[in-house]
Amino acid sequence: MKCHEIDYQIMGDDMQIVEVELDRGETVIAEAGAMNYMEDGITFEAKMGDGSNPREGVMGKLLSVGKRALTGESIFMTHFKNIHPEKRHVAFAAPYPGKIIPMDMAKIGGEILCQKDAFLCAALGTEIGIAFTKRLGAGFFGGEGFILQRLRGDGMVFVQAGGTVIKKKLENDTLRVDTGCIVAFTTGIDYDIEMAGGLKSMFFGGEGMFLATLRGTGTVLLQSLPFSRLADRIIAHAPSAGGQRKGEGSVLGKLGGMLDGDGFRL
């Protein structure tokens, strides 16, 4: 077993927390800022790299930092280690509503590709790298850019997804998906981008100009509410620079705001 063997419990429904149980000497790694709480006896340290290769030199660490910079993540990862003689717990939460997906890497072939902000935490020994998309079109129009995260190991990995999680198993099949709805997929799946029908459908269909096409044999994880879609809705209904709200489509508009208690604004 290369990775540390950790136990866990996922709590909650739509705003989930994963609580990881660590024996003495065990370590879990996580994205910066993901920790929710931890018990006495657990120490934490920000380190460059995932710690999967203890003999990694300075150049190796700099390469790992460069890879994380390309994905837009923090160059540091936080390592939580239990130094107490008894079992101790540390918990992590996703930054937006959705689900936390546990994956035993030993049962899914030891490798998975995921969108660049899907990783939450994992057992020490998990390698967190990058994977370049094979096609130029996927890089420019895929929403995720040229780069996906590649997770390798034989321990537990936890990824985060917005809304409801849907698992699709493909057997030499093809699945077309909104680019932002992809969470992760196994290495037997080929990822590409195709145009979404004719010009009228592209500009007026509301589904975007391009769709992700997943082909092959393997497992695909999808999310019903990508964070980018949620953020767009929030921005669209946020107050304007002058402090006036948009009325959320109400026929009453400003009058409705006054009836809600907003009062008159000069």
Rg of the chain in Å (alpha carbons): 21
State the chain's mean pLDDT as an integer.
Answer: 80
Grouping H, G, I as helix, E, B as strand and the rest as coil, residue 27 is strand
Q: What is the DSSP letter of 106?
A: G
The band of 72, judged by pLDDT with boundaries at 50, 70 and 90, is low
Q: 48-78 burial, b for 16+ CB within 10 Å, e for fewer? A: bbbbbeeebeeeebeebeebbeebebebebb
What is the reported pTM?
0.78
Q: Which of 148-157, 221-230, 248-257 has the highest mean pLDDT?
A: 148-157
Average the pLDDT over 100-118 and give the result.
92
pLDDT of residue 219: 94
Average the pLDDT over 128-147 and give the result.
59
pLDDT digits (tens, 9 = 90+) for 17-53: 999 999 999 999 998 889 999 999 999 999 877 777 7
Q: Which residue spans within the chain are E strands per DSSP? A: 7-11, 17-22, 27-31, 35-38, 42-48, 76-82, 88-93, 98-104, 111-114, 119-123, 127-132, 147-152, 156-162, 165-177, 182-186, 189-195, 210-223
The band of 251, judged by pLDDT with boundaries at 50, 70 and 90, is very low
Give the domain 7-230 fold. Double-stranded beta-helix (3.60.160)
